[in-house]
Amino acid sequence: MEFNILSLIYLLASITFIVGLKMLSHPTSARKGNAVAAAGMTLAIFGTIFLYNEEGETLGNYGWIFAGLAVGSVVGTLAARRVKMTAMPEMVSLFNGMGGACAALISIVEFDHLMQLLDGPGVLILMLADEPGALLGLVIIILLGLIIGSVSFAGSMVAWGKLNGSLRDFSFRGQQAFNIGLLFLIVGLAVYLAVALPANALLLFYVIFALSILYGLFFVFPIGGADMPVVISLLNSFTGVAAACGGFLYDNKVMLTGGILVGAAGTLLTILMCKAMNRSLTNVLIGAFGGNTATAAAGQSQGAYKEISLSDAAVVMSYANKVMIVPGYGLAVAQAQHACHELEKLLTSKGVEVGYAIHPVAGRMPGHMNVLLAEADVSYEKLLEMEQANEEFPTTDVVLILGANDVVNPAAKADPGSPIYGMPILDVELAKHVIVNKRSMKPGYAGIENDLFFRPKTSMLFGDAKKVLQDLITEVKNS
* Pick from 370, 376, 382, 380: nearest CA to 337: 376
Average pLDDT estimate for 3-19: 88
Instruction: Tell me the pLDDT tens digit for each residue of 109-148.
Output: 999 988 887 654 444 444 544 555 778 889 999 999 999 9
Mean pLDDT of the chain, nearest integer: 85
Measured distance CA(201)–CA(39) in Å, rounded: 41
Question: So what's the pLDDT on residue 128?
Answer: 44
Question: So what's the pLDDT on residue 40?
Answer: 95
Please name the helix (run of DSSP H) or strand (run of DSSP E) that holds residue 402, with its range, or none. strand 398-402
Q: Virtual CA dihedral for 400, 402, 404, 410, nearest 10 degrees?
A: 20
Average pLDDT estimate for 334-338: 88
Instruction: Tell me the pLDDT tens digit for each residue of 306-326.
Output: 899 999 999 999 999 999 999
Say how many Å lie between the first and final Cα of the chain, rounded: 73
**112 is an active site residue:** no
- The bridge status of strand 322-327 relative to strand 398-402 is parallel
Taking phi over 0 as left and psi of -120 to 50 as alpha, with beta for the rest, 212 belongs to: alpha
Name the range with the highest mean pLDDT among 339-348, 374-383, 401-410: 339-348
Q: Residues 6 or more apart from 40 whose CB is under 8 A from it?
A: 12, 13, 14, 15, 16, 17, 20, 254
Strand partners, 440: none
Q: Which carries the bigger pLDDT value, residue 294 or residue 401?
A: 401
Q: Which carries the bigger pLDDT value, residue 240 or residue 123?
A: 240
Instruction: Tell me the pLDDT tens digit for each residue of 217-237.
Output: 999 988 866 677 788 889 999
Quote the pTM value.
0.79
Q: Is the pLDDT of residue 390 over 60?
A: yes
Instruction: Tell me the pLDDT tens digit for each residue of 13-23.
Output: 999 999 999 99
Average pLDDT estimate for 34-53: 91
Measured distance CA(367)–CA(146) in Å, rounded: 30
Average pLDDT estimate for 26-47: 89
Q: Which carries the bigger pLDDT value, residue 380 or residue 393?
A: 393
Average pLDDT estimate for 411-420: 81
* Pick from 47, 35, 38: nearest CA to 11: 47
Q: Which carries the bigger pLDDT value, residue 430 or residue 169?
A: 430
Question: So what's the pLDDT on residue 290?
Answer: 44
Q: Is the pLDDT of residue 187 over 80?
A: yes
Measured distance CA(393)–CA(401) in Å, rounded: 13
Question: So what's the pLDDT on residue 173?
Answer: 85
Residue 28 buriedness (CB in 10 A; 0-12 / 13-18 / 19+): exposed
Q: Which carries the bigger pLDDT value, residue 108 or residue 376?
A: 108
Question: So what's the pLDDT on residue 437?
Answer: 93
Question: So what's the pLDDT on residue 172?
Answer: 84
Question: So what's the pLDDT on residue 121?
Answer: 47
Instruction: Tell me the pLDDT tens digit for each residue of 442-468.
Output: 766 556 788 899 999 999 999 999 999
Residue 149 buriedness (CB in 10 A; 0-12 / 13-18 / 19+): buried
Give the CA angle between residues 222, 225, 227 to the nearest 5°.
90
Which residue in the list 406, 415, 427, 451 is annotated as catalytic?
Answer: 406
Q: Is the pLDDT of residue 190 over 50?
A: yes
